[in-house]
Structure 1
Amino acid sequence: MRTNTLGRIAAVLVGLEGLGLVVLAIWQIVAVVSGDTASLDSALALIVLTVVGAAGVLAFAVAVWLGRSWGRSGAVVTQLLILAVALGAATGAYAEPIAALVLAIPAVVTLVLLVLAVREAGRAERDGASA
């Protein structure tokens, strides 16, 4: 199934999020190499989890680009997780409202585009089934 324009835009945004995780993993590796970590074991575990997360998000981006439903589903879950992190950043003793907005705004835009892409895919599927 061919992905519509909204799905392609959403795929690019999800891909940028995945690249952001890659950059975060590189930053974590630099911190480990420079000795800027309190616990080497925890730092290595965090790097592994970040790389696995980046691979997953990038796989979702490719799948959304190709019009696969599992990619859209995974990307929606990713956006909800980003929104949860943004909510955590906005609240609490060490709240960072600007950081929360920087996380939340692209996640909301991407989530809306993904939902619209899902609706379009469902409409195309129904039209294809009735033809």
Structure 2
Amino acid sequence: MSRTPAERRPDTGPPTAVRRAGVVVALEGVVAVVIAIVLAVHGATGADESFISSYGTAGWFAILGSGVVAGGVALCTGRRWGRAIAVVAQILLIPVAFALLTDSGQPWLGAPLLVVVVIVLGLLFSPKSVRWLADDYAPDAEPPKD
């Protein structure tokens, strides 16, 4: 008789690597939300001539940043769906880091960002993290009942 995933393992929560990645991802989302606020204030003070430039970009950062914060919090609390958000966010930050390193001429921003991205991806794809993610999909798990 095969056991359900809950019977196979006690619910101890996510591994430390996943929680650490969750904290960093949530902080990345907070940075995006702060940028959104700065852009909105910048537009409200009349410093920008184009309405869509400040408010549109602020809206974009607010929506994406909120989603990334949610993904980071999900990882910290043991919800596996947060990993997809975290991985996509890191993949999207790779070209940003390279642009800061090369085209923008701001290596003091690009280099640390690239290091953070590599660390988070390493944490999310560590063996313990992958086992935790795949735990509910074990080959001896019974299929869900209809």
Scaled by the length of structure 2, the TM-score of the pair is: 0.77
8 Å contact from structure 1 (residues 4, 120) kept in 2: no
One-letter amino acid of the counterpart of residue 108, structure 1: V
Q: Which residue, 100, 104, 122 being the options, matches 2:114?
A: 104
Residues 40, 58 of structure 2: 8 Å contact kept: yes
| In structure 2, distance between residues paired with 1:58 and 1:8 | 13
Larger Rg computed on CA atoms: 2
Partners of 1:95 and 1:41 lie apart in 2 by: 26
**Aligned-pair identity (%):** 32
Structure 1: 4+ residue segments shifted above 6 A: none
**Equivalent residue for 1:91, pick from 97, 102, 107:** 102
1:36 paired with 2:47, answer: yes
Q: Deviations over 1:31-88 (max 9, x none)?
A: 1122221312221111111110111101111221233332101101101111110011
What is the CA–CA distance in structure 2 between the aligned matches of 1:91 and 1:77, rounded to whole Å? 22
> Secondary structure of 1:16's match?
helix
**More displaced stretch, 53-62 vs 64-73:** 64-73
Structure 1: unaligned runs, 5 residues or longer:
none
Amino acid at match of 1:38: E
Distance 2:54 2:14 in 1: 39
